[in-house]
Structure 1
Amino acid sequence: MTHTDKINALALETLLTAAVAAPSIHNTQPWRFGFDLGTRSVTVHADRSRSLALADPDGRAQYLSAGSAVFNLRVAAAHLGWQPVPHLLPDPYDPDLLATVQLTVPTAAAPPDLRTLYPAVARRHSSRMPFTGRPVPEPVVAEMVAGARAEGAHLYVPDILRTRRLLRVTSAAELRNATDKARTAESRAWIAPPGASPYGIPFTTARPLDAAGRMPMRDFTGRPPAPGRPRMRFERHAQVALLWTVGDRPRDWLQAGQALERALLVATVHGVRTSLLHQAMEWPDLREAMRAPSTRWCSPQVLIRFGYGPEAGGTLTPRAEAPPADRRVGHAVRTSNPGPPVPGDGDRRSPSPGTDGPRITAHRGR
């Protein structure tokens, strides 16, 4: 798309629609967005009200989710003809300001690779369905690995034996989650009837479990499985990739989120389906057991399952709407409606069916 100096409501809508298409743990969408006209920067803020106290006590997954949104912002900005310049944790006095993405005039040397990923932003969805078992070609896997590396992270693609080990550790984590009453209550709080909320996981039967028990797909309802949940045979030889970083601090988590989304979009461009297996990352000892071999410093972030399969169909998760901001004001902050309730918090309620998603309310910038 040809570059334009105008940052209007349509451009902001394009940017924010791409941002909220990013994956997030339990589909909490734990972010807020703003726009600073003075610096031509989209601001990304943490929404702490959407944190998971038990599954994500340190906020690592929230930073991972926000990092994925940052990468989508960069892709959308490049699509609109801007050169996006991200700044992670730019204000040490504002820990909720996770990142800014400045829209600068592109140069002749600007790489075109981000623009090519834009069509995949809307097409990328987590697939919880069985894959065919047809192996993904090595050049595609290598491109996913290179994409993660370009964002400062690593993808470890194990052989069959190590894949089975990683899946066994993930299965152990899923069993712990399912038998822990408090964690089950936390995950169930983010289940909503289809169409009732733009956040969380819609309660639907189109999320099968593996009949053979090899593929540890997350069951948000706990044990025993909810009535009507179908059981299907998943691929016998799964392909997975472990996303990891050398460091394990908030900046590393934001970088990992960008690397994750870049790898997922590369896969989507090539018609490859993906899903995220995060359960083992929620238990310190099991996260340690997921470390890639022969690495001195390895902080596992998430396990990616990938392969060929059907369209996501009934397994799609909703997204909050992204209405445009008023371009006349100096600063616009995107605020969220209350999402699914947090266990023990009687004041939190899910939006009623038919209510609007997040709004962008405007106020003067600093």
Structure 2
Amino acid sequence: MTDRRTAPPGDIPPPRPTRETIEGCVRSATTAPSLHNSQPWLFRIREGVVDVYADPRRQLEVLDPTGRELLISVGAAVLTLALALRGAGHRADIGIFPDDGQPDLVARVTVGHPAPLSSAEESLVAAIPHRHTNRYPFTSSSLPADTLEQLIDAARHEAAVLTVANPVSRNAIIGLSQAADRRQRATGGYRAELARWTTHRTQHHDGVPPSAIGPWDAMEIMPIRDFGLLQPHLTRAPETFETHPTIMVLTTVGDVRTDWVRAGQALQRVLLTATWLNLATTPISQPVEIPAIRTQLSDTAKGRWAQMVLRIGYGRPAAATPRRPLSEVLLPSNE
């Protein structure tokens, strides 16, 4: 038997993180953004790995019949989990759809050997608890060119492209977003689905609570989804939003399930980068939820598909939305 007190370092297995540490990383993963804060993910912790599943029971059938946005949400949680594990001092290797026999198993994150944290990773990890969707007005200040480049690089790191809309395309995107919002409000089942995730949500661990809804846009220009639509009792004073917002479009080459997951990873890396840079962010999903309008934002001839529209700028702090406890998102380990 080898005496570990005197054995050479190479003979000693590297330490693994404790179950408590991994659970903390899963808890961080649940802070990822999701459509209507539906949190459509489940996790299973096993020896050396964390399996991340889509929870189809939380799919929004009206807005997301294909499950595209569900997988974007899960992809964002996968990246957050990997970053949290890196923050805990370990490598984290991601495998997308590792088992064809389990279509809801979106990713397997393997916990690797201890590894030092880069300064860039450290910044992203620090931003995780501070990232919140901001539905308030932003200032009129323009974003510096180097800031925009950092956001573009964040998307590129996950094999996605983030494009800054010029004044002409920005106005066109806002117009398309407004049209998409009107079409959704006229769609059967839309209001019922919205109510499921916003009405009387103060006692729940998901959905969008009144504190995160934001004010009315006095000019009715900014295409932010109105979560107060079915809450006439909610008093919201109108405010004037920025007239020239910074609008960016996130695209991927390809539009299949793996691309949706990677779009979620890219989205979260961009959002966390923005958070670290003290920027406020609002995902604008309406124009990519209407197929005909999404096609107009895409370059289908080159196989490049729009996955999300983002509004980014400087704004007041936004309130956090509730998160489900670990008891609701952790599956038995089956070990």
TM-score (norm 2): 0.90
SS in 1 for 2:242: coil
Alpha carbons of 1:205 and 1:226: their partners in 2 closer, same or farther (altered >3 Å)? farther
- The residue number in structure 1 matching 2:292 is 285
1:151 aligns with 2:155: no
In the alignment, structure 1 residue 318 sits paired with structure 2 residue 326: no
Give 1:306's aligned residue: 312
2:61 is equivalent to residue 53 of structure 1: yes
Q: CA, structure 1 residues 305+295, in 2 after alignment: closer, same or farther (shift >3 Å)? A: farther
- Over 3 Å counting, the alpha-carbon distance change for 1:224 and 1:120 in structure 2 is closer
Distance in 2 (alpha carbons) for counterparts of 1:309 and 1:69: 25
Post-superposition offset of 1:201: 1.1
Q: Structure 1: how far apart are the matches of 2:333 and 2:306?
A: 39
Q: Secondary structure of the residue that 1:218 maps to in structure 2?
A: coil
Q: Does 1:30 align with 2:40?
A: yes
- Cα drift, residue 185 of structure 1: 1.2
Counting only pairs closer than 5 Å after superposition, residues 153-172 of structure 1 correspond to structure 2 as: 153-172=160-179
Shift of 1:362: 2.8
Cα deviation, residue 321, structure 1: 2.1
Q: Share of identical aligned residues, percent?
A: 32
Partner of 2:8: none
d(CA) in 2 for partners of 1:202, 1:192: 8
Residue in 2 that maps onto 1:360: 330
* Local SS of the residue matching 1:149: helix
Distance 1:94 1:237, change over 3 A: same
Aligned mates of 1:147, 1:276 — CA distance in 2: 16
CA RMSD of aligned residues (A): 2.2
Whole-Å separation in 2 of the counterparts to 1:80 and 1:107:
9
How far apart are residue 364 of structure 1 and its match?
2.3
Deviation at 1:207, TM superposition (A): 1.4
Separation in structure 2 between the aligned mates of residue 245 and residue 361 of structure 1, nearest angstrom? 31
The match for 1:119 is: 126
Q: Distance in 2 between matches of 1:13 and 1:36?
A: 11
* C-alpha distance in structure 1 between counterparts of 2:240 and 2:16, whole Å: 52
Q: Distance in 2 between matches of 1:271 and 1:111?
A: 20
Q: Is the 8 A contact 1:184 1:220 kept in 2?
A: no
Name the aligned partner's letter for residue 320 of structure 1: R
CA contact (8 A) 1:79 1:115 kept: yes
Letter in 1 for 2:88: L
For residues 185-231 of structure 1, the C-alpha deviation after alignment (integer angstroms, 9 at most, x for no partner) is 11111114353101111135851121112201101354897752332
- Paired with 1:111 and 1:204, the residues of 2 have a C-alpha distance of 35
Q: Given the alignment, which residue of 12, 17, 30 partners 2:22? A: 12
Q: What is the SS of the residue equivalent to 1:21?
A: coil
1:73-84 alignment runs, 5 A limit? 73-84=81-92
Letter in 2 for 1:364: N
Gaps of 5+ in 1: 323-356
Contact 2:201–2:207 (Cα < 8 Å) also in 1 = no
Cα drift, residue 169 of structure 1:
0.3
The structure 1 segments of at least 4 consecutive aligned residues displaced by more than 6 Å after TM superposition are 223-226
Is the 1:210–1:216 Cα contact (8 Å) retained in structure 2? no
Equivalent residue number for residue 208 of structure 1: 215
8 Å contact 2:54–2:106 — kept in the other structure?
yes
